[in-house]
Amino acid sequence: MRVKGIKKGRNIEIFEDINIPDGQEIIIAIETEGGFWKSLDRFRQELDSEGVWIEPEVFENLRDSSSGREVIL
């Protein structure tokens, strides 16, 4: 189960109801927002969870494969 919340002092406010009884011990893994690779991973997980599939052909010839301009030193 993944839930999102925000830290306020020594408390964490959870943005949604979770179906666990009061007094139940839980373990929290802290994951902060930020960083390209973390954002990319979250995006991919969201796509997977929603059953969205991007065909590999979408990314074909996306980047220029030329060696670029000549550099004179």
Whole-angstrom distance, CA of residue 63 vs CA of residue 20: 48
Helix (H) or strand (E) holding 3: none
Q: Which two tokens stand for residue 70?
A: 């000549």
Which runs of E-coded beta strand occur in the chain? 5-8, 11-14
Whole-angstrom distance, CA of residue 73 vs CA of residue 69: 13
- Give per-10-residue mean pLDDT for the chain (73 aa): 87 90 88 78 87 85 83 86
Report the predicted TM-score, pTM, of the whole model to 2 decimal places: 0.38
pLDDT at 21: 92
The DSSP code for 47 is: H
pLDDT at 23: 92
4 with 21: CB under 8 angstroms? no
